[in-house]
Amino acid sequence: MTSFKQLEAFVAIAEMGSFDAAARQLDIAQSAVSRHVQEFEARFGYPLFDRSGRAARLTLEGSEVLARARDVLKKRDVLLARLVRKDALMRKLRLGVTELTALTWLPLFVDALRHQFPRVAVDIEVEHSLPLHERLCSGRLDLVVVPNAFDLAGLLCTRLGEVRNGWFCSPSLTVPDARIRLAELDRYPLLMQAPQSGAGVLMRSWFSRNGLRPRTSVLSNSVAALEGLAVSGHGIAHLPVVLSRPLVERGLLRELRVVPPLPGIRYVALARADSATSFHRDVALSARRICDFNRTYAAGALSATRPGGGDVDA
């Protein structure tokens, strides 16, 4: 008899690309993964994986079986999500977030999930937007929180909050205090988010439409690295206001008055439509409720501990 464990092992290998990676994903021994798949394949009479290379690649028949196996697992998850109490639901949530989410509201979000689903194990990947989107589409993640910079075909999208951005540089950098036209920034070294960043993709498109074509730029996939470079006087950076304002208050950065102002970046929670259940929708709605890009988690925790500061809503 075919078991759910066999189906899970088969799907995990197909999505992760190897038996070893599937074992790590399922948190079981590689020998158990191999046994489950061998038992599953034995029922068909032909191999589902081409094992001639280093990667485990699906055969033509295996590709057809994969779609049906995913459908069976989704129906199981739908049944459990509908009938099992939230406080009794046992499963894993593979969550992907960007650096900015991790530095702001992620801890409060995890607290909320633990309260809502106490027996759900949450695995978190902090990565750039493009790799997160790729891992979601390949089935290696269940839900991602990223800028709204991607084709949404085949995905369920829940709108979250918006990130405000500004232009910042070191007070030691010789830049006028008066208003500056956006196109005039090409006179200075610009510190910009690299192509793997969804926010960077959106910003570059906006720059092009508004006539900014940097002559000199430094690219980085890390907001923290761009902040450090700006504080050190290496150029002008476009940065989230929530992270940069504390450095302005300490005199390490100053905010420039540039017109037109930078647009906000809308974040979304994405899940695959072919595998999402009511559980994933509940998680996405919880993200919408908790999402707050206007303060860092450290600032929120500090205000919550001050007398009269009020409780943090988790």
265 within 8 A of 193, measured Cβ to Cβ: no
pLDDT at 229: 93
Strands 190-193 and 236-240: parallel
193 and 257 share a domain?
Answer: yes
Domain boundary at 83, 100, 117, which? 83
5 and 54 share a domain?
Answer: yes
Local structure of 22: helix, strand or coil: helix
Q: How far, in Å, CA of 192 to CA of 182, rounded?
A: 14
Q: What is the CATH number of the domain that holds 7?
A: 1.10.10.10
Query: Does residue 308 carry a pLDDT above 60?
Result: no
66 and 123 share a domain?
Answer: no
Residues contacting residue 154 through CB under 8 Å, at least 6 positions apart? 137, 272, 273, 274
- Owning domain of residue 242: 165-263
12 and 72 share a domain?
Answer: yes
pLDDT at 195: 73
Give the predicted TM-score (pTM) of the model: 0.74
Residue of 26, 227, 197 whose CA lies nearest to 101: 197
- Distance from chain centroid for Cα 231: 27
180 and 135 share a domain?
Answer: no
Local structure of 49: helix, strand or coil: strand
Crossing angle (nearest 10°) for helices 60-83 and 4-16 = 120
190 and 254 share a domain?
Answer: yes
11 and 137 share a domain?
Answer: no
38 and 56 share a domain?
Answer: yes
15 and 69 share a domain?
Answer: yes
Residue of 26, 27, 29, 16 whose CA lies nearest to 57: 16
Domain boundary at 35, 56, 83, which? 83
Domain boundary at 83, 107, 123, which? 83
Average pLDDT estimate for 129-149: 91
249-271 residue pLDDT tens:
999 999 999 989 888 999 999 99
212 and 88 share a domain?
Answer: no
Q: What is the mean pLDDT of the chain?
A: 84
145 within 8 A of 157, measured Cβ to Cβ: no
Please report the DSSP string for 173-197 in residue order: S---SS-EEGGGGGGS-EEEE-TT-
Strands (E), 164-264: 165-169, 180-181, 190-193, 217-220, 236-240, 254-255, 258-259
Q: How far, in Å, CA of 200 to CA of 147, rounded?
A: 9
Which of the residue ranges 1-5, 51-55, 202-206 has the most confident prediction, judged by mean pLDDT? 202-206
Q: What is the CATH number of the domain that holds 274?
A: 3.40.190.10
Report how far apart, in Å, the C-alpha atoms of 186 and of each of 33, 211, 216 are.
Answer: 55, 10, 7
Query: Does residue 309 carry a pLDDT above 60?
Result: no
Tally the domains of the chain.
Answer: 3
Average pLDDT estimate for 142-165: 91
Cross-sheet strand order for the sheet of 236-240 = 217-220, 190-193, 236-240, 165-169, 254-255
117 and 62 share a domain?
Answer: no
Q: How far, in Å, CA of 308 to CA of 298, rounded?
A: 17
What size, in residues, is the chain?
Answer: 314
10 and 140 share a domain?
Answer: no
47-62 residue pLDDT tens:
888 877 777 888 888 8
